[in-house]
Structure 1
């Protein structure tokens, strides 16, 4: 899964060169074996779209650690080479591993961390979350307030709106940036565009319109909705946007910060009513959904057994070999609002890069991070990783390298679909609460009509109270 779990959201994102690097999405399986290697000094001074060639650094050696996953390693290989060409004499040592967190944990504990790390806070090792909790990540606000290397604007102004202000990048509510956004994923409801066009249907803009399509779906021999049953965390792609639609950013903040009374709020009630209605309405949920894995549910959707399915911008690439109904075309609907005129919403997830506080070479690490936001790097990332960075205009820059459906959903966000970025705040150190499981696993019981949404809200209020209590005691 690529959700904020993803996916969330979601996801989501391996040498002939002397530089050896790897990149990926924390929730996807790695495609290559682990590697640790050294990038030699670059001899060429050919321009690469940056203006850093005249800068000098006292320490020209940089130690980088990057998660090795589904995006492959080619981007980091090529980026390291271009950086060294632009900054003659620099040397980049790169550690890359599918289990990067476990690999670098000893060096972090011993006070000798890498200078630059690409590892999401959702990584199972807990390394990034631990560094956030320990406030052991460097304030990098100055990077975003500095001029871009290849254009006359601050780097902050290059980033898509709403990203830098979230807990993904600013985890302490102090107005400072500690983690930099890298690739992002777009999540929401998907439909078969060819089928909709043939029937004259339009993607729903409100939840009333969504449920009104149920009768049409039933008449056409398909259910209204399915999801990745045994992975109910995918439902965050509906839940979080619905919370935003019902209560705005404040409601999302209350959800992610475990505010007392959130699950009894009007925003939560309106949101949970969606799931209650899906579970309780004939034909709304595809039969057998709760027992399906993600591939099975997604295939059933593509075969015309369901009108809608939740997923993210990686959907087409992930299912490129799956069977489907004739003429199937991926269509991205986002997530509806509650009222006419409300914006359509997309859940957005973002991958994180950062510089540990104990970095031995923060100056060069910051320059390398700035280099990642050049147009050259954005295009290179599209070419090599088939991914889109959280940068304005990135979708057009990489259009030729990504699938048509990915382009359409990224473009929808850049063109005005409301992106919602949400990240649950870390629970207390040592807590046994898996907050994601507590929130999403019970949806299986709701969909099976074994739990009411009222019972769910009561349960989650108690879980949130326990989280708040543990956090208070940890201070």
Structure 2
């Protein structure tokens, strides 16, 4: 199943390469020190409580970076609590007003706790921290972060430009193809949707359909839908989509993007036969065996399917998502994990110093070595290169070198809502692809649902 560890959004941005570096250390001192840290700057409290999600990435990175931090900041002590169910561990502490000093929260079972902290305004304002010099010195810490990340709603959740969540690992999603086939046959990767559909002729010549997807899990289609919405209507359209504006379902963005899906379902040879009934493994294997030219997926794809059968010479190739207009950039969906410091943390100054340390070059390299992950930091793919497969490295470099990255996440619904927005939006696509539902029916259904969700939010007092 897809490893959706990269939760929340970074907003639309062109992610450029280059790495900022320097020397020296910055720290935030307390008034009554009992030890030294950094460049001799003291902290009031030298002990830090850190709670982290222990999922597919494990906990080795966090143990390693804590050890490195303590060595570089003599006298400090970091206590790591790691668990796949980290929310269950920290929730009682948060309720009691005694949260950890620093948290990395991920995993679908855990992330609702972040929504609660945001709703309760219970996170520390990190804006000034990102304006300070990085731990290595030089320019401000914010200059190390990929463009657009710090401005996104999931990092700056109140729309006031202030930063309350810090970005961590990120993943890249879009359409994939067999690079060996394309190179061997001289097939050019499409930059627009018109070019993409024109490749149906090449698909036929090579005895395959143009497209397949993980039919029983139509949520995978967000990896092409979200960038496509941005391609048509920009951030305004994405905001409508993710914030439950019923007008989205009457807009050009809807008719163009979902019209693309309807075209795939209707055009001869465009959709691989039987796709809608396939699970993720079946569809991905069929793609790798040469039954379809393209499939949506993310940077976990190669590792997830490392033992799956494939056609001779198969090589993973990442396309991204084509643009609708010639000359517009190819896009990709990018999700970013988050780190936070609770507002009631007992040791916020040392927590901030530790957060800055997470963005150092050696931390980025250690994270790649121990977790095979890439942080949302400029130049991170090159720092992580020795720990990544060639395919994964090339995907991250495509984004790092200028592929436009967009992302988004649905605004939290009202507490107790009967709606799961992702399910409501993506599940009906199966009926569209089976030609059991028209675009007009789809639109009408979603206008009703978005209107209901807005009404629930208004009644609960959380309307935007």
TM over 0.5: yes
Q: 2:9 touches 2:409 (CA, 8 Å); kept in 1?
A: no
Report what 2:389 is aligned to.
403
* Cα drift, residue 218 of structure 1: 1.9
**Unmatched segments (≥5 aa) in structure 1:** 11-47
Q: Is the contact made by 2:8 and 2:154 (CA closer than 8 Å) also made in structure 1?
A: no
Q: Is the 8 A contact 1:194 1:327 kept in 2?
A: yes
Q: Is the 8 A contact 1:378 1:389 kept in 2?
A: yes
Match of 2:30 in 1: none
Work out the CA distance in 1 between the residues paired with 2:283 and 2:120. 40
* In 2: Cα distance, 1:90 partner to 1:2 partner: 38
- 2:188 corresponds in structure 1 to 202
Give, in whole Å, the separation in 2 of the partners of 1:326 and 1:165. Answer: 44
Corresponding residue SS for 2:167 = strand
Give RMSD over aligned pairs. 1.9
Deviating 4+ runs (over 3 angstroms): 1-10, 48-51, 120-125
Choose the corresponding residue for 1:61, options 47, 51, 73. 47
CA distance in 1, matches of 2:5, 2:215: 14
Q: Which has the higher contact order (CA 8 A, sep 6+)?
A: 2
Task: Report the secondary structure of 1:261's partner residue.
Answer: helix
Residue of structure 1 equivalent to 2:67: 81
Which residue, 412, 417, 428 being the options, matches 2:403? 417
* Contact 2:7/2:337 (8 A) holds in 1: no
Q: Deviation at 1:150?
A: 0.6
- Mapped to 2, the partners of 1:274 and 1:191 lie a distance apart of 19
Report the TM-score when normalising by structure 2. 0.91
What displacement does 1:282 show? 1.9
- Corresponding position of 1:262: 248
> Deviations for 1:239-286, whole angstroms, at most 9, x for unmatched residues?
100000101111112211122301111111111111111111221111
Match of 1:114?
100
**Contact preservation (8 Å) 1:186, 1:312:** yes
For structure 2, which runs of at least 5 residues remain unmatched after alignment? 11-22, 27-37
Partner Cα separation in structure 2 for residue 125 and residue 84 of structure 1: 28
2:201 & 2:182 partners in 1: Cα distance? 14
The aligned counterpart of 2:15 is none
Q: How does 1:76-225 map to 2 (within 5 A)?
A: 76-120=62-106, 122-124=108-110, 126-225=112-211
Distance 1:274-1:327 versus aligned 2 partners, 3 A rule: same
Q: Deviations over 1:423-443 (max 9, x none)?
A: 221112232211111111111
In the comparison of the two structures, how many residue pairs are matched?
A: 438
In 1, are the aligned partners of 2:45 and 2:347 still within 8 Å (CA)?
yes
- 1:240 aligns to 2:240 (yes or no): no
SS in 1 for 2:175: strand
Q: Which residue of 2 is the match for residue 70 of structure 1? A: 56
Contact 1:169 1:180 (C-alpha < 8 Å) held by counterparts? yes
Task: Tell me the TM-score normalised to structure 1 length.
Answer: 0.89
Looking at structure 2, the residues matched to 49 and 313 of structure 1 have their Cα atoms a distance apart, in angstroms, of 34
In the alignment, the residues of structure 2 paired with residue 424 and residue 75 of structure 1 have an alpha-carbon distance, to the nearest angstrom, of 30
What is the aligned partner in structure 2 of residue 29 from structure 1? none
Change beyond 3 A, Cα 1:67–1:168: same
Distance, in Å, in 1 between the alignment partners of 2:51 and 2:229 is: 36
Residue in structure 2 matching 1:376, options 334, 350, 362: 362
Could you tell me whether the CA contact under 8 Å between 2:5 and 2:106 is conserved in 1? no
User: Shift of residue 236 of structure 1?
Assistant: 0.5
